[in-house]
Amino acid sequence: MTSITSYDSEFFLIGGGKRLKGRVRISGSKNATLPIMMASLLTEERCLLSNVPNLLDVKTARELLEFMGADAKVEDGRVLIETRNLRGFVAPDHIVRKMRASILVAGPLLARFGKAVVGMPGGCSIGARLIDQHLKVFERGGANISIKNGYIHMEVEKVKPVEYTFDVITVTGTENALMFLSRCPKRSILRNVALEPEVMDLVEVLKKMGVEIEVEGRTMIIKGGEELRGFEHKVIPDRIEAGTLAVAGFITGGDVVLEGVCLEHIGGQLEKLKEAGAVVEILGLDRIRVRGDGRIEPLEVETREYPGFPTDMQAQFMVMCCVAHGVSQITENIFENRFQHVNELQRMGAVIKLKGKTATIYGQEKLSGAEVFSTDLRASASLVLAGLIAEGETIVRDIYHLDRGYERLEEKLNNLGAWIERVAHARNTG
Ligand code: EPU
């Protein structure tokens, strides 16, 4: 048993070496839910979302909307939001610090009320995560922007149509721009946009609200409506949760069926899994079976914007490479500092060399249980995966990162035969 010291927050205790087997249902997508919740700020009418995951980030988004005076009810995977009586336009620092996606209130608030004040999101553990592209679109649309006391103050009298080519492809930048332009009746053109399924889910919602949006390659043409309607919408499945559970099934030499997936969204990941030796069977429109026989082939992976390999799956695939038969390479092209799991994986016996944005991973026969620390959401998922295949017990600390973006991950894995205990307080076992 690993010797541990005393910490306050919850942690996972994982007993490695269990083969996963069974069925698991994929939840709604976190990164689709958040912008769609913010889109409710664009209308006085009621907005109803279903297939909403029960996550910390969704709770934070609700807290933010309520802070501004919105009415938000959450029940059984459904969120009902009404922003008729909004009385504030400020996303306070203490909420922005918990969730960077809070910046997504800026576009809709400017579009409907001409005013937004948002705590300045600082850098975060995975990189600088600039928002210059969001602000450039707002400025092109006539907004005045100033920074005072750590807050971004934005004001616009009437949003003007915009023609803008993004300098970098940005997911929340594209989403914010779309919402900002959605009440401007003149035609706007955005080029070099992000086409992630989560962005396209927001596009669907905006169309339901009365916005005309045409998508041609990486160009979007937007014609807004002066008054937008409420909407009912079922959020798309979480492709990152699906990928994480597929990797879990494969690396444990297991046999798992994922239900409620969107095949189109996870096609690229499945191809890579097959390359590593997984047997992937399509069982129906939204069901796949993933099996492994214990042997894992090395991989070359480069993260790219969708439809490329998602950066949000990089850490999980790295775990797979740690026990592959040979040398793998993973290149992270989206974020400049998204390798913090490497140190922790090394504590579990992984052999990884980092050079610039590329990690070379020398596959080992096994990993061994250790006490490791989560540094961000996807890094924490990778440590859980590593714990599943490690010899002995693993302690994964700071799992609040994981709770931001995975719904009951340990419960889902335990139902498949894993052995993970969520421990509320440190137990001194050493
Ligand atoms: N960037 C800029 N300027 C900007 C915006 C972005 O330089 O104005 C740079 C970033 O610094 C980064 C790159 O562009 O290097 C891509 O960042 P992007 O804006 O696309 O990321 P994001 O919108 O902040 C979303 C997801 C992330 C996911 C990325 C990439 C949400 C709420 N978050 O972040 O999800 O990794 O897109 O796909 O949608 C996660 O779920 O764990 C997560 C981090």
Is pLDDT at 426 greater than 90 in this prediction?
no
* Mean model confidence pLDDT for the chain: 95
pLDDT at 3: 42
Site to probe by mutation for ligand 1, drawn from 168, 304, 357 as the one with most ligand atoms within 8 Å of Cβ, is: 168
Q: How confident is the model at residue 125 (pLDDT cuts 50, 70, 90)?
A: confident
Is pLDDT at 32 greater than 70 in this prediction?
yes
Residue 306 CA: which ligand 1 atom is closest? 38
The per-residue DSSP string of 150-202 comes to: TEEEEE-SSPPP-EEE-SS--HHHHHHHHHHHTT--SEEEEES----HHHHHH
Specify the residue with its C-alpha closest to ligand 1, atom 16: 170
Q: How confident is the model at residue 308 (pLDDT cuts 50, 70, 90)?
A: very high
Place domain 5-27+237-428 in its CATH homologous superfamily.
Enolpyruvate transferase domain (3.65.10.10)
Specify the residue with its C-alpha closest to ligand 1, atom 39: 31
- Is 135 in contact with 106 (CB distance < 8 Å)? no
Specify the residue with its C-alpha closest to ligand 1, atom 29: 171
The yes-or-no answer to whether 5-27+237-428 and 30-234 have a common fold is yes
Residue 135 CA: which ligand 1 atom is closest? 8
Q: Domain locations in the chain?
A: 5-27+237-428, 30-234
* C-alpha of residue 334 to centroid of ligand 1, in Å: 8
Type of residue at 342: V
pLDDT in tens, 316-334: 999 999 999 999 999 999 9
Residue 134 CA: which ligand 1 atom is closest? 8
Specify the residue with its C-alpha closest to ligand 1, atom 2: 130
Site to probe by mutation for ligand 1, drawn from 27, 31, 167 as the one with most ligand atoms within 8 Å of Cβ, is: 31
pLDDT in tens, 176-216: 999 999 999 999 999 999 999 999 999 999 999 999 999 99
* C-alpha of residue 403 to centroid of ligand 1, in Å: 19
Angle in degrees, CA 132, 67, 401, rounded to 5: 65
- Is 301 in contact with 331 (CB distance < 8 Å)? yes
pLDDT at 429: 47
Token look-up 């592209």 returns 133
Is pLDDT at 8 greater than 70 in this prediction?
no
Q: How confident is the model at residue 337 (pLDDT cuts 50, 70, 90)?
A: confident
3 vs 237, higher pLDDT: 237
Residues in contact with ligand 1 (CB, 6 Å cut-off): 31, 34, 101, 127-134, 168, 170-173, 194, 198, 311-312, 334-335, 377-378, 405
Distance CA 102, CA 34 (A): 9
Active site residues per annotation: 124
Residue 126 CA: which ligand 1 atom is closest? 44
Specify the residue with its C-alpha closest to ligand 1, atom 17: 170
Is pLDDT at 135 greater than 90 in this prediction?
yes
Specify the residue with its C-alpha closest to ligand 1, atom 4: 131
- Is 285 in contact with 326 (CB distance < 8 Å)? no
Distance CA 69, CA 388 (A): 44
pLDDT in tens, 136-181: 999 999 999 999 999 999 999 999 999 999 999 999 999 999 999 9
**Start-to-end Cα distance in the chain:** 8
* C-alpha of residue 169 to centroid of ligand 1, in Å: 9
* C-alpha of residue 100 to centroid of ligand 1, in Å: 10
Is pLDDT at 260 greater than 90 in this prediction?
yes
Q: How confident is the model at residue 430 (pLDDT cuts 50, 70, 90)?
A: very low
Site to probe by mutation for ligand 1, drawn from 165, 311, 334, 400 as the one with most ligand atoms within 8 Å of Cβ, is: 334
Q: How confident is the model at residue 129 (pLDDT cuts 50, 70, 90)?
A: confident
- Is 1 in contact with 429 (CB distance < 8 Å)? yes
Asked if the 30-234 domain carries CATH number 3.30.1380.10, the reply is: no
Is pLDDT at 395 greater than 90 in this prediction?
yes
Phi, psi of 357 (to 5 degrees): -95, 15
